[in-house]
Amino acid sequence: MRDGEVNVEGNVSMVKEFVLLGFSDLPYLQGFLSGIFSIIYAIILIGNSLIIILTMVDRVLQKPMYFFLANFSALEICYVSVTLPRLLVSMWTQDRNISLLECATQLCFFSVLAATECLLLAVMSYDRYVAICNPLHYPLVMNPKKCTQLAAAAWLSAMPVQIGQTCQIFSLHFCHSNQIDHFFCDIPPMMKLACGDTSVHELSVYVVAMLLAVVPFLLILASYSKIISTILRLPTAQGRGKAFSTCSSHLLVVVLFYGSASITYFRPKSSHSAGIDRLLSLLYTILIPMFNPMIYSLRNKEMIAAVKKLLLKT
Of the pLDDT bands very low, low, confident and very high (cuts 50, 70, 90), residue 248 is confident
91 in any annotated domain = yes
pLDDT at 261 over 80: no
Return the SS3 of 26: coil
Q: DSSP secondary-structure letter at 197?
A: -
Res 12: pLDDT: 45
Find the DSSP H helices in the chain: 30-57, 64-93, 100-133, 138-141, 144-156, 158-169, 187-193, 199-209, 215-232, 237-265, 274-282, 288-298, 301-313
Of the pLDDT bands very low, low, confident and very high (cuts 50, 70, 90), residue 9 is very low
19 in any annotated domain = no
8 in any annotated domain = no
User: Taking the CB of residue 99, how many other CB atoms lie within 10 A of it?
Assistant: 12
120 in any annotated domain = yes
162 in any annotated domain = yes
Res 284: pLDDT: 82
Which CATH number goes with the domain that contains 299?
1.20.1070.10
Res 271: pLDDT: 57
Lowest mean per-residue pLDDT among 48-62, 263-277, 299-313: 263-277
Q: What is the pLDDT of residues 135-184, one digit of tens each?
A: 899 999 999 999 999 999 999 999 999 999 999 999 888 876 788 888 99
Number of domains the chain is built from: 1
pLDDT at 1 over 60: no
Res 260: pLDDT: 76
Q: What is the mean pLDDT of residues 269-295?
A: 77
Is residue 192 within 8 Å of residue 34, measured between CB atoms? no
Q: CB-hemisphere CA count at 13 Å for 135?
A: 6
Average pLDDT value for the chain: 85
pLDDT at 73 over 60: yes
Nearest to 254 by CA among 302, 209, 213, 300: 213
pLDDT at 95 over 80: yes
pLDDT at 33 over 60: yes
Res 159: pLDDT: 94
Q: What is the mean pLDDT of residues 71-100?
A: 92
Of the pLDDT bands very low, low, confident and very high (cuts 50, 70, 90), residue 39 is very high
Q: What is the pLDDT of residues 189-225, one digit of tens each?
A: 888 888 877 888 888 888 988 888 889 999 999 999 9
Of the pLDDT bands very low, low, confident and very high (cuts 50, 70, 90), residue 266 is low
Share of the chain above pLDDT 70, in %: 90
Q: What values do phi and psi take at 15, rounded to 5?
A: -80, 130
32 in any annotated domain = yes
pLDDT at 250 over 60: yes
Read out DSSP for 92-142? HH---EEEHHHHHHHHHHHHHHHHHHHHHHHHHHHHHHHHHHSGGGHHHHT
Of the pLDDT bands very low, low, confident and very high (cuts 50, 70, 90), residue 272 is low
pLDDT at 2 over 50: no
1 in any annotated domain = no
Query: 86: Cβ–Cβ under 8 A, 6 or more apart, which residues?
Result: 20, 98, 106, 184
Res 141: pLDDT: 93
Domain containing 221 equals 27-313
Cα–Cα distance for residue pair 132/92, rounded to 1 Å: 49
Cα–Cα distance for residue pair 105/91, rounded to 1 Å: 20
DSSP H or E segment with residue 20: strand 17-20
pLDDT at 269 over 60: no
pLDDT at 57 over 50: yes
205 in any annotated domain = yes
pTM for the full predicted model = 0.89
